[in-house]
């Protein structure tokens, strides 16, 4: 399993995927810093108070995180969808799986390698963006590590989701399904927020079901919560309208849900293993 | 790596079957391949050759039957350590260097770290790729990739080497090299299971062969068994069908245009036959005597099998 994981990480390096991701992260961070600088200077010229600037910067940071979250999800789908399918289609898997290597070890090895790359990318980009914003605006989110961890968690869930499909479907089909599912899960999350704001239980129920089936959106709540200044949470956290905003979180995801997200990954890998084991090569 | 006793067959399967939906890819294969033996597995496209290989390696599950490979149940994970395999579709990570592909496989087969490099270099030397060891596989021609695949199959001196169409992408020089490699592997005690439809190749290196068609064995045994007795062919003019009964004492004759064939017929009586034909007033232009080629025999057997709708399954190859 470790051999396959290291091979997979090596593959992303040799294929220059890792370097492209790092370069993209650096570009994104430079643009973020530049944008926040412009916002800061415009706000100071307009005589905006420091508290308001802090609020504004935190919102900009959340929007940047949202953009980055999308890019990360696409990256995860892009990396995960060919992980098994391409090896099976090309014939590379035949030579590898004829060795004393369990299919579960091969699959988990591929997942572990890609999850490491995705997590590294999330950590690098997230931490650099937070550091750049802190440097130019002086705003530091109350919790630095948890939003990055939630970002990485979301990406790993989507990666796992695509790997399940990769055991049976061609790469392009699995990737397309993952992107659509991610979009639906996000939309379901937005509808859930609207449901809370309007007090519509049915909408909230559908949203909760979607979050259980693909637990990416609730982890997004963790990203937002970690990036918000504590004063925002204390001031408007209980307002019903605020709870209807997908870019606001009054509380972090419940621990039970985080545990479910971890269990979801384990179950999905189990399903992928069964699907791969049953596949004739 | 523990050595298996020479009297333990490398492959011993009974009534092995494989069905893909309505298609019966393998309809009851029973065979034994000994240690140190080069076994040719022949058949037209779609006959069930690659299916057999995949079942032996555990890449596919049998629908029925079973058996042992290197004294362990077929598909046994640990036994794969002792098996080298060159797939028909030989593809290796194109972004790896040739040596890295081999060290990867050395790691996957559980060789200790300090042996991986030397084993990889030895395999590269055997297949003639030492000077390309540090080139990425993606830059290799198909022939070089097949050589690399052969190197992967030979890595760590496996007790059983399964080669699925090992020369399909090689030039004549490469084919000669492969024959030498196969003989050398057999000489050190490895069993070689050679899956091929290149009959001349099989004829030159195999100790025993089995011919399959439609998932069934249509002939098996040593080359002498499969090729049968000698045949005499004479290109002749002035011979009438009514003259044939006089020739029957040499063997059953057939006359096709100007070619008189007698099979079986021992070569040591050819001069008597020619003398008789001349005495009968026929003109003899060319005389050929000997065993038919594997290709001829193969075509005959496959045609016969298809006309009969297949022979009974489960013929024991030994």
Residue B291 distance to chain A (closest CA, Å): 39
Q: Sorting pLDDT into bands at 50, 70 and 90, what band is B292? A: low
Which residues are paired to B13 by β-bridges? B31, B67
Query: For residue B317, what pLDDT is reported?
Result: 45
Q: How far apart are the first and last CA of chain A?
A: 20
Which residues are paired to B160 by β-bridges? B83, B191
Following CA atoms A120, A122, A125, A128 in sequence, which dihedral angle do they give, to the nearest 10 degrees?
Answer: -80
Percentage of residues of chain A with pLDDT beyond 70: 94
Rg (CA), chain B: 23
Residues carrying CATH 3.30.70.1150, chain B: 229-290
> How do the domains of chain A map onto residue ranges?
2-278
For the purposes of burial, counting CB atoms within 10 Å of the CB of B274, is it exposed (0-12), middle (13-18) or buried (19 or more)? middle
Name B248's Cβ contacts closer than 8 Å, sequence gap at least 6. none
Which whole number is the average pLDDT over B41-54? 86
Most confident among B1-15, B147-161, B276-290 (mean pLDDT)? B147-161
Segment A216-269, tens digit of pLDDT: 878 888 888 887 777 666 666 555 555 666 667 777 888 998 999 999 999 999
Which residues are paired to B136 by β-bridges? B97
Partners of A14 on chain B (C-beta within 8 Å) are: 95-96
Query: Least CB-CB distance to A98: which of B20, B57, B92?
Result: B57
For residue A1, the chain B residue with the least C-alpha distance is B108
Assigned token pair, A219: 């982890």
B109·A100 Cβ contact <8 A:
yes
Partners of B152 on chain A (C-beta within 8 Å) are: 95
Which whole number is the average pLDDT over B88-94? 91
Over 60: is that where the pLDDT of B315 sits? no
Over 50: is that where the pLDDT of A63 sits? yes
Q: Sorting pLDDT into bands at 50, 70 and 90, what band is B101? A: very high
Say which range, A16-20, A152-156, B105-109, has the weakest mean pLDDT: A16-20
Over 50: is that where the pLDDT of B89 sits? yes
Query: For residue B199, what pLDDT is reported?
Result: 74
d(CA B217, CA B74): 20
What are the DSSP E strand ranges found in chain A?
none
Q: Is B57's Cβ below 8 Å from some Cβ in A?
A: yes
Distance (Å) of CA A36 to CA A49, A227, A230: 16, 15, 20
Which whole number is the average pLDDT over B186-202? 86
Query: For residue B2, what pLDDT is reported?
Result: 40
Residue with the two structure tokens 């017929």: B265
In words, the CATH class of domain B229-290 is: alpha beta
Segment B272-288, tens digit of pLDDT: 889 999 988 889 999 88
Q: Between residues 172 and 231 of chain B, which touch chain A (CB distance below 8 Å)?
A: none
Residue to mutate among A5, A14, A18, A100, with most B CBs inside 10 A, is: A100
d(CA A4, CA A105): 8
Say which range, B8-17, B158-167, B196-205, has the weakest mean pLDDT: B196-205
Over 60: is that where the pLDDT of B146 sits? yes
Query: For residue B93, what pLDDT is reported?
Result: 93
Residue to mutate among B60, B104, B105, B139, with most A CBs inside 10 A, is: B104
Q: What is the DSSP letter of A222?
A: H
Query: For residue B308, what pLDDT is reported?
Result: 66
Task: Give the helix/strand (H/E) hosting A178.
Answer: helix A171-198
Superfamily of domain B11-226: P-loop containing nucleotide triphosphate hydrolases (3.40.50.300)
d(CA A22, CA A124): 8
Residue to mutate among A12, A87, A99, A278, with most B CBs inside 10 A, is: A99
- Using DSSP, state whether A244 is helix, strand or coil: coil
Distance (Å) of CA B21 to CA A126, A141, B18, B166, B229: 50, 59, 10, 29, 41
Higher-confidence position of B221 and A270: A270
d(CA B2, CA B116): 18
Partners of A98 on chain B (C-beta within 8 Å) are: 57-59, 80, 83, 85, 87
Q: Give this prediction's pTM.
A: 0.82
Sheet with B316-317: strands ordered across: B72-73, B64-69, B11-20, B23-33, B316-317
Query: For residue B183, what pLDDT is reported?
Result: 92
Name B26's Cβ contacts closer than 8 Å, sequence gap at least 6. B16, B17, B18, B48, B51, B52, B55, B62, B215
Name B96's Cβ contacts closer than 8 Å, sequence gap at least 6. A14, B104, B136, B137
d(CA B55, CA B27): 13
Say which range, A32-46, B4-18, B280-294, B303-317, has the weakest mean pLDDT: B303-317
Name B225's Cβ contacts closer than 8 Å, sequence gap at least 6. B219
Give the angle B64-B65-B69 at the CA atoms, nearest 5°.
125
Contact A97, A88 (CB under 8 A): no
Query: For residue A113, what pLDDT is reported?
Result: 96
Higher-confidence position of B213 and B112: B112
Query: For residue B115, what pLDDT is reported?
Result: 93
Distance (Å) of CA B277 to CA B179, B237, B248, B272: 42, 10, 12, 9
d(CA B146, CA B166): 7
d(CA B110, CA A101): 10
For residue A16, the chain B residue with the least C-alpha distance is B95
CA neighbours closer than 13 Å in the CB half-sphere of residue A189: 24
Residues carrying CATH 3.40.50.300, chain B: 11-226
Contact A109, A5 (CB under 8 A): yes
Partners of B70 on chain A (C-beta within 8 Å) are: none
Cβ count within 10 A of residue A70 = 14
Q: Between residues 120 and 179 of chain B, which touch chain A (CB distance below 8 Å)?
A: 149, 152
Over 60: is that where the pLDDT of B4 sits? no
A99·B91 Cβ contact <8 A:
no
- Using DSSP, state whether A253 is helix, strand or coil: coil
d(CA B302, CA B50): 18
d(CA B297, CA B313): 20
Q: Show the 3-state SS of chain B.
A: CCCCCCCCCCEEEEEEEEEECCEEEEEEEEEEECCCCEEEEECCCCCCHHHHHHHHHCCCCCCEEEEEECCEECCCCHHHHHEEEECCCCCCCCCCEHHHHHHHHHHHCCCCHHHHHHHHHHHHHHCCCHHHCCCEHHHCCHHHHHHHHHHHHHCCCCCEEEEECCCCCCCHHHHHHHHHHHHHHHHCCCEEEEEECCHHHHHHHCCEEEEEECCEEEEEEEHHHHHCCCEEEEEEECCCHHHHHHHHHHCCEEEECCEEEECCCCHHHHHHHHHHHHHCCCEEEEEEEECCCHHHHHHHHHHHHHHHCCCCCCCEEC
Over 70: is that where the pLDDT of B311 sits? no
Query: For residue A274, what pLDDT is reported?
Result: 95
Task: Give the helix/strand (H/E) hosting A207.
Answer: helix A201-213
Contact B9, B74 (CB under 8 A): no
**Complex ipTM value:** 0.81
For residue B111, the chain A residue with the least C-alpha distance is A100
Sheet with B259-262: strands ordered across: B253-256, B259-262, B231-237, B283-290
Mean pLDDT, chain B, rounded, equals 86
Higher-confidence position of B185 and A190: B185
Over 50: is that where the pLDDT of A135 sits? yes
Following CA atoms B100, B106, B107, B110 in sequence, which dihedral angle do they give, to the nearest 10 degrees?
Answer: 180
Q: Sorting pLDDT into bands at 50, 70 and 90, what band is B293? A: low
Percentage of residues of chain B with pLDDT beyond 90: 43
Following CA atoms B272, B273, B275, B280 in sequence, which dihedral angle do they give, to the nearest 10 degrees?
Answer: 140
């Amino acid at each position: 399993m470790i051999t396959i994981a290291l091979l997979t990480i090596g593959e992303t390096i040799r294929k220059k995927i890792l370097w492209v991701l790092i370069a993209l992260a650096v570009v994104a961070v430079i643009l973020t810093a530049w944008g926040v600088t412009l916002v800061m200077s415009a706000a100071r010229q307009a005589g905006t108070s420091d508290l308001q600037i802090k609020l504004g910067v935190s919102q900009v940071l959340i929007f940047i995180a949202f953009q980055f979250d999308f890019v990360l999800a696409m990256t995860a789908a892009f990396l995960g969808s060919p992980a098994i399918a391409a090896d099976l289609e090309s014939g590379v898997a035949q030579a590898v799986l004829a060795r004393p290597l369990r299919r579960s070890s091969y699959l988990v090895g591929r997942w572990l390698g890609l999850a490491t790359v995705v997590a590294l990318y999330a950590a690098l980009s997230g931490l650099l963006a937070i550091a750049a914003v802190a440097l130019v605006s002086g705003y530091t989110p109350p919790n630095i590590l948890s939003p990055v961890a939630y970002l990485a968690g979301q990406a790993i869930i989507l990666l796992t989701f695509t790997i399940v499909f990769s055991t049976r479907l061609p790469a392009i089909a699995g990737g397309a399904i993952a992107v659509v599912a991610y979009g639906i899960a996000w939309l379901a999350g937005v509808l859930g927020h609207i449901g809370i704001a309007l007090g519509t239980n049915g909408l909230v129920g559908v949203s909760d079901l979607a979050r259980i089936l693909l637990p990416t959106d609730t982890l997004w709540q963790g990203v937002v919560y970690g990036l918000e200044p504590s004063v925002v949470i204390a001031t408007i956290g209980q307002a019903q309208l605020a709870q209807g905003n997908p870019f606001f979180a009054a509380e972090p995801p419940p621990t039970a849900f985080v545990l479910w997200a971890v269990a979801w990954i384990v179950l999905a890998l189990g399903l992928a293993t069964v699907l791969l084991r049953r596949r004739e090569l | 790596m523990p050595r298996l006793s020479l009297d333990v067959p490398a492959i011993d399967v009974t009534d092995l079957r494989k069905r893909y939906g309505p298609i019966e890819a393998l309809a009851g294969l029973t065979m034994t391949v000994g240690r140190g033996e080069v076994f040719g597995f022949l058949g037209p496209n779609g006959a069930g050759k690659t299916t057999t290989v995949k079942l032996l390696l555990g890449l596919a599950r049998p629908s029925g039957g079973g058996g042992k490979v290197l004294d362990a149940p077929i598909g046994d994970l640990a036994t794969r350590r002792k098996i080298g395999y060159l797939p028909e579709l030989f593809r290796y990570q194109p972004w790896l260097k040739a040596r890295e592909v081999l060290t990867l496989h050395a790691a996957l087969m559980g060789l200790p770290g300090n042996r991986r490099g030397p084993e990889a270099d030895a395999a590269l030397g055997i297949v003639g790729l030492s000077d390309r060891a540090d080139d990425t596989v993606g830059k290799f021609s198909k022939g070089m990739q097949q050589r690399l695949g052969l190197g992967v199959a030979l890595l760590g001196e496996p007790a059983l080497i399964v080669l699925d169409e090992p020369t399909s992408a090689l030039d004549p020089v490469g084919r000669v090299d492969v024959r030498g490699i196969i003989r050398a592997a057999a000489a050190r005690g490895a069993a070689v299971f050679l899956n091929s439809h290149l009959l001349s190749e099989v004829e030159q290196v195999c100790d025993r062969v089995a011919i399959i068609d439609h998932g069934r064995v249509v002939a098996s045994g040593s080359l002498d068994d499969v090729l049968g007795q000698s045949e005499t062919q004479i290109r002749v003019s002035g011979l009438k069908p009514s003259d044939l009964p006089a020739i029957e004492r040499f063997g059953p004759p057939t006359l096709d245009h100007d070619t008189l064939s007698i099979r079986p017929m021992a070569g040591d009586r050819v001069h008597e036959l020619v003398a008789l034909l001349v005495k009968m007033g026929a003109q003899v232009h060319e005389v050929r005597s000997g065993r038919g080629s594997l290709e001829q025999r193969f075509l005959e057997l496959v045609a016969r099998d298809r006309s009969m709708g297949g022979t009974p399954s489960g013929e024991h190859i030994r």
